[in-house]
């Protein structure tokens, strides 16, 4: 039986903290979400990342309640979908998400994409600031924002996001954006941290995994942990969910980190570019 290690947390710029490892549920079917969330909480996860557009917020709430883990011990994130951006719509759909989740208070609410051509992300952010002031959400942040969008939020409102959740994996390492985050006290959270599973057969990753007696997925999750990212690997399978969290009893050495650094590829982006994505 694998020993469960308490997961490390990272400090956020609003005085709160976030467990560094979470379960992601993008593409987790609604009817499989509760079991995946319960499996994660059973395996020691204390952080679940969903979004309104995933259609599985109800399953997240159901899995949380089924686990028996106290609500206060679990960090729950959801995201506002693009079509709902704007001051009034944000306040309305936040309530809808909370109803589906079955929660009184959310740990972290994110703007899912900036959609700059719509020109609504600053108004959306004003609604987020209000929700936080009202105590409905503890921390507020963004996803898929580029430096120009982050600068704009701060200039217009004076309120900095606690984190930015971005596409980030060994094949797309986002040096410039990570440097920006570090300079501004914004945490970096990685989506598709395993490259949507495509990186698991990479020969360098496989070699590092063999050397440590670990799996490729564990090597990549461990790399994110050592890089200081918040990381949310997705799986629907209880065994793989537990495997992805069994990363606190080994570490990567300088050769391993250098080998992973060499996998970076400026063409390695899988998802859309945030400056032009308008869906
Ligand atoms: P599954 O849900 O069937 O386990 P990412 O988090 O980068 O988006 O990657 C998710 C993908 O990687 C999913 O297809 C998931 O499949 C797969 N995956 C997650 N963990 C593991 C693992 N430990 N071993 C193999 N595949 C995994």
Quick check: CB of 192 below 6 Å from ligand 1?
yes
1: confidence class by pLDDT, cuts 50, 70, 90: very low
Q: What is the mean pLDDT of residues 141-167?
A: 98
Task: Determine the angle formed by the axes of helices 254-261 and 203-212, rounding to 10 degrees.
Answer: 160
Nearest residue to 46 via CA among 28, 65, 20? 20
Nearest residue to 248 via CA among 47, 7, 1, 41? 7
What was the pLDDT predicted at 143? Answer: 98
Angstrom distance (rounded) from CA 20 to CA 245:
11
Average pLDDT over the chain, rounded to whole?
Answer: 96
Quick check: CB of 40 below 6 Å from ligand 1?
no
pLDDT tens-place string over residues 234-272: 999 999 999 999 999 999 999 999 999 999 999 999 999
pTM of the shown model:
0.97
If DSSP codes are grouped into helix, strand and coil, which group holds residue 131? helix
Nearest-CA residue for ligand 1 atom 1 is 235
132: confidence class by pLDDT, cuts 50, 70, 90: very high
Q: Is the pLDDT of residue 105 over 80?
A: yes
For ligand 1, what atom is nearest to the CA of residue 26? 8
What was the pLDDT predicted at 4? Answer: 72
Angstrom distance (rounded) from CA 127 to CA 129:
5
Cα separations in angstroms, 28 against 161, 184, 230, 255, 269: 27, 33, 20, 35, 22
Angstrom distance (rounded) from CA 91 to CA 41:
29
Query: How far, in Å, from the CA of 155 to the mean position of ligand 1?
Result: 38
User: Could you tell me the end-to-end alpha-carbon distance of the chain, in angstroms, rounded to an integer?
Assistant: 45
Active site includes 54?
Answer: yes
Nearest-CA residue for ligand 1 atom 9 is 196
Catalytic residue among 54, 109, 121, 180: 54
């Amino acid at each position: 039986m694998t020993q469960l290690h308490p997961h490390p947390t990272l400090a956020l710029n609003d005085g709160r903290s976030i467990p560094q490892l979470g379960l992601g549920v993008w593409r987790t079917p609604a009817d499989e979400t509760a079991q995946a969330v319960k499996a994660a909480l059973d395996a020691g996860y204390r952080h679940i990342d969903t979004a309104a557009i995933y259609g599985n917020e109800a399953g997240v709430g159901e899995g949380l309640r089924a686990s028996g883990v106290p609500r206060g011990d679990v960090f729950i994130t959801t995201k506002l979908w693009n079509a709902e951006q704007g001051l009034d719509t944000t306040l309305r759909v936040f309530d809808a998400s909370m109803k589906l989740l079955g929660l009184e208070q959310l740990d972290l609410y994110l703007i899912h994409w900036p959609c700059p051509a719509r020109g609504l992300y600053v108004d959306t952010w004003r609604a987020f600031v209000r929700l936080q002031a009202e105590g409905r959400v503890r921390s507020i942040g963004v996803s898929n924002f580029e430096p120009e969008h982050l600068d704009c939020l701060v200039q217009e409102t004076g309120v900095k996001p606690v984190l930015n959740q971005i596409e980030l994996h060994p094949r797309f390492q986002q040096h410039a954006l990570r440097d920006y985050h570090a300079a501004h006290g914004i945490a970096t959270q990685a989506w598709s941290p395993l490259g949507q599973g495509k990186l698991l057969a990479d020969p360098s990753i496989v070699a590092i995994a063999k050397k440590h007696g670990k799996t490729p997925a564990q090597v990549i999750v461990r790399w994110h942990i050592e890089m200081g990212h918040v990381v949310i690997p997705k799986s629907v399978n209880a065994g793989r969910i537990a495997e992805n969290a069994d990363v606190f009893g080994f570490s990567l050495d300088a050769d391993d980190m250098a080998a992973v650094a060499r996998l970076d590829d400026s063409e390695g982006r899988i998802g859309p570019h945030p400056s032009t994505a308008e869906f």
